[in-house]
Amino acid sequence: MPKETAAFKAGPGSEIAKNQCLICHSAEYVLTQPRLPRAFWEANVAKMRDKYGALLPKDQVPVLVDYLVQTYGK
């Protein structure tokens, strides 16, 4: 596998993104998404937990969604 070259931008919730999202995919996967609204990020985080079994604790979901919206959303 090539070395990871991207990283999540620092901010409240970035440690959750780093610790949870990078388990399954690269930061580039998130960084290359178009700037999408909160509904997209809420649905995507729910899908990762409910369909793909991400071990993201329920209490971290709002923090992660807020981070993704503020950093990579519309």
Q: Is the pLDDT of residue 5 over 70?
A: no
Q: Is the pLDDT of residue 63 over 90?
A: yes
Query: Structure pTM?
Result: 0.88
CB 53 within 8 A of CB 18: no
**If you compute the radius of gyration of the chain from its CA atoms, what whole number of angstroms results?**
12
| Contact residues for 23 (Cβ-Cβ < 8 A; gap 6+) | 54, 55
- Round to whole Å and give the CA distance between 36 and 27: 16
Q: Report the CATH number of the 18-72 domain.
A: 1.10.760.10
Domain extent listing, the chain: 18-72
> Quick one: pLDDT at residue 7?
87
